[in-house]
Amino acid sequence: MTSLDSYATLGRSGLRVSPLALGTMTFGEDNGWGSSPETSEAILAEYLDGGGNVVDTANTYTNGHSEKIIGDFFAARPGLRDRVVLSTKFFATLHPGDPNGGGAGRKAVVAQLEESLRRLGTDYVDLYWLHGWDRRAPLEETQRALDDLVAAGKVRYVGFSNVPAWVAAEAQTTARFRGWTPVTALQVEYSLLERTSEGELLPMAEALGMGVLPWSPLSGGRLSGKHVRGGVPTDSARAGLTAELTEADWRVLDVVARVAADLGVGAAEVALAWVRGRSAVSSTLIGARTVEQLRANVSSLGTTLAPEHVAALDEVSAPALDFPAAITAGPGPVLGFGGSTIDGVTLPTWPLLLANAERY
In single-letter form, the type of residue at position 266 comes to G
Residues 6+ apart with CB under 8 A from 137: 103, 104, 105, 108
**288 closest CA partner among 63, 26, 68, 61:** 26
Residues 6+ apart with CB under 8 A from 21: 52, 54, 55, 56, 213, 283, 284, 285, 286
**Torsions phi, psi of 309, nearest 5?**
-70, -45
**Torsions phi, psi of 220, nearest 5?**
65, 25
Buried b (16+ CB within 10 A) or exposed e, 272-300: bbbbbebebbbbbbbbbbeeebbebbbeb
- In Å, how far are 54, 84, 182 from 210, measured between CA atoms? 16, 20, 9
Is 7 designated active site? no
Three-state DSSP at 169 gives helix
The catalytic residue among 61, 124, 128, 190 is 61
**Torsions phi, psi of 20, nearest 5?**
-120, 130
**203 closest CA partner among 321, 332, 311:** 321
Kindly provide the residue ranges of all beta strands, DSSP E only, lying in 173-255, ordered along the sequence.
183-189, 211-215
What order of strands is seen across the sheet that includes strand 211-215?
Answer: 211-215, 183-189, 155-161, 125-130, 85-90, 54-56, 20-23, 284-287
Buried b (16+ CB within 10 A) or exposed e, 227-254: beeeeebeeeeeeebeeebeeebeebbe
Bridge-based pairing of strands 155-161 and 8-9 is unpaired
C-alpha dihedral (202, 302, 5, 182), degrees to nearest 10: 0
What is d(CA 357, CA 338) in angstroms, rounded to the nearest whole number?
A: 11
- Which residues are part of the catalytic machinery? 61
